[in-house]
Chain A
Amino acid sequence: MENALGIWGPQAIMMAITASFTIFGMIMLLAAVLMKRRWKPSYTVEFAFIGLMLGLVWYGDYLSQGTYSAYQKNLNTEEKKVSGNYSGLDEQAFDRTVTVVAFQWGYAFINEDEEISRNAVVVKPGEKVLFKVVSNDVIHGFNVPVAQITAEIDPDEKRELWIKAPDKPGKYLIQCVNYCGVGHTQMKAWLVVDAGEGESS
């Protein structure tokens, strides 16, 4: 899975369905108000419409579930589900494992060598990175826009999420999306993609 939750793919289909649904509703409303012709739908039309909706519900669940469990499977093949007790059996599947401590207000990144860096994590292009995120105090968010993934981090729980680092070297935003107190706005960090051969971080 290149970009498990990427907008191009299952999500684009869902966006297209949502947009067509909106446009269809607007056209029907406009027609009802502006057209000269009158039309009284029968109950059959309504039931057919409900049938269509049920089909969409099934399809939405099918696609979303497929996408998300494929993402999760990649995260932890052994356990299938992410639970509060991460066993760490499958960390080999990732090129890099980073423990993240979210606090009021910032992130601390701890790499495999127990080195701590604040508000920046250095990775190599295209690497698969596993983040094990915990919160020190209140509910925080962990959003990596470039990897298109968001998680909500509760103080008494542990969350794992993985990303595939961008191929292009540069600085990418990591931000908190849950209001976590007055310093919420400052709660940002950088995903630094560094192609350099030398020791990272």
Chain B
Amino acid sequence: MATMEMDDPKMGEKVHWVPEDLLSGMTVKQILFSNDYRHIALKGIMTSFIMLALGGTFAVLFRLELTVPDVQFLGARVYMTLMTLHGMVMVFGFLIPLVVSISYYMLPKVLGNDRLLWAGAAQASYWVLILAAVLLVIGRPDFTWTAYAPMSLRTGNQFVWMGHLAILLVAISEFLAGAVLFRNAIAGKGGWSNTPLMAWAAGTIGLLFMASTLPLGFVGYGLLSDYAQWTSVAWFDPSRGGSVQFFLYVFWTYGHPAVYLPFVPAIAIIYSIMPRFLGHPMWSYWSGVVAFVLLAAGAMPIGPHHFQPVYTVSGDYQRFVQILTMLVFIPSVLHVFNWISSLFMAPIPDSARKAIPFKFMIFAIAFIVYGGATAFLNAQIAPDSDFIHNTYWIPAHFHAMFFGFSGQMAFAGVYFLFPYFTGRMYNQTMGNWHFWLWQIGLFIKITAMGIAGYLYFPRWVYDYLDIPGWAEAQLFVTIGGYMVAVGFLFFLVNLFWSAKHGKLVEDDPWPVVHDLKAAPAAAPAE
């Protein structure tokens, strides 16, 4: 219906959307080397599921250890290795590659190019990342994903340099991915004002990828150099003349943009699929554009809110960072305002209410509100110097943002794309199980983490004292985490089963039907 509206680039939709069985038709050669954007994207999506399973298994193991006080079966080194790999695999291996792969898949279709420019760079980005993941698993670093020098140079693990090298490789991989996103974002034909919002997202975040991975690359190089003593004066190691503050500034100049790298493409998925489900354009196009530009522009200077800059405690610089951080809150609020207004402005079709991707999207918005509102509090120096800095409050915040929002939005994208790359519809019942287990599990997990943080539970511990509230909070984090794990199993079964036995999809898998009772024939296939 409403074909003309669908062709409007501001709808985030265009032609070229044909359901077909791509997944089972891929040959080994295509899986390894094909530069077709759909093949690269599918490879990336499937690989990130493997990474999620890997990172999730690590979490399942260490959550079991944390459920009750005292040491049960994981020692400090094994626990910290699992924790480090959990963080690195989830962010660098699962979340960023998943949203980037979905962008690779959707951008050429949304822009109408039907091909990915600089696909070779996307291919290289994939393989460099695989190399980094292999190095991480072999090297088993235990310095957490932030790799703070000089601790990360003195872990007593003789393969720790593999972790440093992996950081450098991740930087190269993400730089290439950013270049591909930016090149494709500017490949639209309609000029500035006709560029779909997904391309605005890819363009701004592509630039941010390229700018912010330079400091990350330097961190990787500097750690390698300090570890192997390539220079007579160290970069970061204070015992050989280096500066820890220098490390912190360089690292967090990447580290804060790093949280936007999955965040912005996830926002872009909303701007693409929400109009499809609602059957009308977003509430405001330019509000979205402005928000994307502001978010990318503000990302790098506010990195120092992640640590306490020395010499400037309570000084003007820290205050500047505090104000700027709170101001960067505004573009995110503009996005949420835009989404809620789009939902509010016209009746929501029955077909949308029933669709799993739409449900994931609504709850992802709920999680961005839940986790995002605390950003306003976290930005302020006074509460940060009380219970926020490096307590469980921080994992609560970033699990809500990384997983509750970005991760769930990525899964909304995967469910949305599922009929397009398998030619079949997913199983609705299993989809619902996955959906509810994740919403309830994530809510329990994030809330319990927040409470633990409020009670000053420190991050990165494998054992803790029996202080009132601590054990209860940890128990609930574990329960929530395990619900998420079971939900993921439902998703995996659904993926494999429905790809083979799901109901065949003819043309449009997502028709907009306002009253399903009146027109049951047009209901989306289950």
A interface vs B, CB < 8 Å?
A: 5, 7, 10-11, 14-15, 17-19, 21-22, 25-26, 28-29, 31-33, 38-41, 43, 46, 49-50, 53-54, 56-57, 60-61, 63-65, 67-69, 71-72, 81-84, 137-139, 141, 143, 145, 148-152, 154-157, 159, 173, 175-185, 188
Contacts and interface: CB of A to CB of B under 8 A. Distances in A.
A84 B467 CA distance: 35
A73 to B, nearest CB: 9
The 10 tightest CB contacts between A and B, nearest first, are A25-B369, A64-B380, A32-B343, A145-B456, A138-B151, A177-B390, A40-B345, A32-B344, A179-B460, A67-B382
Nearest to A14: B377
Contacts, number: 224
A159 B456 CA distance: 20
A75 B251 CA distance: 30
Interface string B332-370: 011011001101111110000000000000100110011
B281 to A, nearest CB: 12
Interface of B: 76-77, 80, 142-144, 146, 148, 150-151, 154-156, 238, 243-245, 248, 283-284, 287, 307-308, 310-315, 319, 322-323, 326-327, 329-330, 333-334, 336-337, 340-341, 343-348, 362, 365-366, 369-370, 373-374, 376-377, 379-387, 389-391, 455-456, 458-465, 467
Contacts of A180: 151
B76 A178 contact: no
A149 B385 contact: yes
B142 A182 contact: yes
A144 to B, nearest CB: 9
A45 B60 CA distance: 45
Nearest to B461: A185
B307 to A, nearest CB: 6
Contact of B459 (A31, A40, A177): A177
Contacts of B377: 14-15, 18
A85 to B, nearest CB: 10
B385 A68 contact: yes
B326 A60 contact: yes
B322 A61 contact: yes
Contact of A41 (B283, B334, B383): B283
A119 B467 CA distance: 18
Given A29-B365, A46-B337, A156-B238, A139 B148 contact: yes
Given A31-B344, A179-B460, A141 B385 contact: no
